[in-house]
Each structure stands twice: as C-alpha cells, then as structure tokens.
Structure 1
Amino acid sequence: MTTTVLITGATSGIGAEFARQFAARGCDLVLVARSEESLGRTAADLRRTAGVEVEVLTADLLDDAARNRVLERIRAGGDGSGVPAVDVLVNNAGYGLPTSFADTSLEDEIDHLRIHVEVPLALAHGALQVMRRNGEGTVINVASVAGFVPRGSYGAAKAAMISFSRWANVAYGRDGVRVTALCPGFVHTDFHQRMGVDKGGIPRLLWLDAGFVVREALRDTAAGRAVSVPGLRYRALVAAARVLPPSLVTRAASLGR
C-alpha cells in the first residue's frame, strides 16, 4: 500500500523539501499551509513531477477550528471511510520572532509557544491514536539545535519537543511507532528572511542545505533514532554545549539574532 504523509508548513523551506523527497519515494501527500495559492501551486508541481496523489488543507494552525480540521483528517484515515490513513506526520509549521523575549508582546510570545508546542502535540496526539491502532507509523517533529542551548523562548519550545520526542519514541516504539525530533542548525530557507535576520552575519560553514537536512532526518528516523542532528559540525556543537560554561554557550547561541 502507498504511504501517506501529512506535512504542516509544507509550501516552503524544510516542509517543502520533505514534500519533494517523500513524493520522489512514491508517497502520497497531505499538505497543510496557510496560503491556498501556495498550496495549489506546490500540489500541482508535485503531481506533475512525481505522479503522486496530493491533498491540500488550507489552515492557519493557530486558529482552533482550522487546527481541528487537520486533526479530523488525521483521525479519519483508515476508519473505513475510504480516506487513506496518515502513515507519517511531519510537524514542521513554525516561525521565529524578530525581537527578544522581553521586547516581544505577550500575545506574540503565547502564539509562538502554541505553534511550536501546542499544535505539534495536538497533531501528534491524534496521529499516535491512529498509528498505534494500525501497529505502525512515524512522527517527525521539526525542532532545532536551539533546543540544546539557551536561546530564548524559541530554544525553550524546541527543547520541549526534543524531550517529548525522546520519550514518545521509547513509549510508543513497542506499538510500532517511531518518533524523531529533527534538530537542524542554520538552513538555507526563507525562515531567517521572514524574521528580518541578516544572514550575512552567520559564518558560511554553519549553513546547511535543506535537501541534506531532510535526507539525514529520513535516514535517522528509519534507524529508529529519537533525535536527528544533521551535520558533523552541529553534532560537535551540541556535544560542546553540554560541557562549556553557560555564559559562553548563551553568547554563541545568540549568533544571527
């Protein structure tokens, strides 16, 4: 049977790369994003180039009703309705904030926490119910190396998803479900441009290609790893962060802010 993959934030950056690589493997897709126009364009390209089935769900995941529509799609699969079950969930939707915690409005900080923690946990909750019933499945939570270092509320949110993924991979592995936190560093996408961050201030050796990041994630997920940190340089940085003085790690982590 064909694997069906649901991806949030699927029209740009890492999410779009996940869509391309899964489509190249012959997987059918359910793409979720806020822009109906971008979704339509992305879906048409993938249908044409990969010949796979592509559903689209236009949803602002910070809107409860929209998020619940996505949850309904996840829960509907494999229930006898003829709707394909979601075999793989990629929780990728998210964004960064351009100002530090104390300078950002409380409302913006709460929305930021919701999109990076509440939303992926809600979707994972629905997916795990279906996947456990089916005896197999995969959840990939796109986190960040920021989750290993002090980097404001963004790092805190990503640390939460890393911790959850580590636990869930063990807890639900016995049910045939793999859960992996993907923790990239700086990736060539439009993520930093949308934040207004000067990419020129970040050393070239720290930049990764989105294709490489996703290939590493899929390899590590297939191996059953709970955490995927693409690139030797970033694995070394994560290891160093565990032993270096917190003040030094905090200064280094503010790079590119």
Structure 2
Amino acid sequence: MAVFEEQRPRLFALAYRLLGSAAEAEDMVQEAYVRWSQAGPVEVPAAWLTRVVTNLCLSQLTSARRQRESYVGPWLPEPVLTGDGALGPLETVEQRESVSLGVLILLERLTPVERAVFVLREAFGHGHAEVAGILGITEAHSRQLHRRARAHVGEPRKRFESDREHHRRIVRGFLRATLGGDVAALERLLADDVVAWADGGGTATAARRPVYGRARVLRYLSGLTNRPEAAGIAWDIVEVNGEPAVVVHDPGGGLLAVFAVEIADGRVAAVRTIVSPAKLAFAATQLM
C-alpha cells in the first residue's frame, strides 16, 4: 500500500496527460491499484505501474474517441489547479507546456500510441528503450512514433508563453478590461486571429462553435459579462494547467467557469471557457 501511494501522484499526472480528463485519470489509477493489490511481488514497482497505467489509458483513449465524435459543442480538457503540484513539478517551460490546455488539445490529433510515446518522452523523460518496454514495441518504432507525434504537435507549440509573470499581467489586464467593459483596452489585448472556445458539454449554456477574430470575440465577451446572472459572481486568477487562468464563482462560492487565456506575442491568442459541471467537478474539489 505504501509503495503504491508513493507512486500515486506520478501515476495520476501521467494518466491525466494521456487522457485530458482528471476524472478518468483517477479511475485509471484506481484500477491500477486493484491490479497492484492482486499481483505478486514486483521487482520494479514504478516501471510496472507505469506500464499498467499507460496501457489502461490506451484502452480508454480508444473508447473516448468514439464518445467525442458525438460530443455537444467543442471538447476541452478538464481543468486542473496546479499551484499545489497536482500534476507534478512544473518548473520548466516544457513541464508547464505538457499540461497546458492548448497542448492537450493538440494531443487529440495523435493516435493513442503516438500520444503515449509523446507524453512518456516529452513530459516524463523516458528513453526510447524504456518507452518500447512500456508499450511492447521496438525501440525503432518508438522513435518513429515520436517523430510523427512531434510533426503533428510541434509547430503550434511556438505560441506558448514562457514568461509566467508576463502571462499573469496580461490575464489580469484581460480580466479588468472584460469586467469593466473597457472595449478599447480589450481590443488592444486581443490578437487579430484570436479564437474563443466554450465547453458546456450539452448541459450548460455555451457557444456550440468556436468564435473567430477580434471583433467577434469582443462581442462574445461583452455578451458574457452583460448577462443578468453575471451580477454577484466573483472572479479570481489562479494557476490552472500550469498557466494563469480566471476562475468564476457564484455567490455561494461554487465554481461556475474557468477561463484559460492563451498568450502569444504579448496578446490574447485564445480563450478557452469550461462551464460544463462535469468538467469542473475535479477543480471544484481542489478549491474546497
């Protein structure tokens, strides 16, 4: 039990990066515990558990893809508050990038095994020999899958904002301008090609399609803050998935939404809003 509990945070961080879902990641880790408790002596527990969790996630990814084909509106990953280390160390740009919502969305382009190779290599630093052993493939195949994954994901990653304090200042300015109805300030902050996505999961009011371009996103944001229900809610900036984000609370303290703001070249390049209650459940427990 003690050995498994020591590994649990790392296993959750791995499963979350593979699935983009905190709830599913917890399920995979719990299933790994069941298998661990039923297994005999294990020579290298960390390697054994990594292999079990990775392969459980590969199976889950296959079924998740079918479910997302019928998902209502844009699908976004579940937000996770990371200020307390919930997804492991995020000290480097590469570590923070590996859990950012933008990169997790890009990973949806990959096949399950490409995603596994990418995460094991990029986020956890496993060599190709180790990756091959975990996935039951050859080392040459691991290298090939990694090259293919990087080709799919690599180019858009250049948009990632590396300066954390600079990112926070822009998010703070974005929040002030949005809440204050300062259209001129907000217009200066938004990139020409800014995009806004919203994930309501079919259970909460949200735009069913992405909103493209500065003018349309301005109208979209103004519409959100002008709603009658916006009165009395509270806003704050916290670290979500390694980056500053805006969290919205109702008067009773319940979590209503998370706005993840992606910065590129000093401007807001993307706004990803999660309002689906199911998607907010994990973050809500973190805030308690």
TM over 0.5, shorter chain: no
TM-score by length of 1: 0.25
The structure whose RCO (Cα within 8 Å, separation 6+) is larger is 2
User: Which structure would you say has the larger Rg?
Assistant: 2
TM-score by length of 2: 0.23
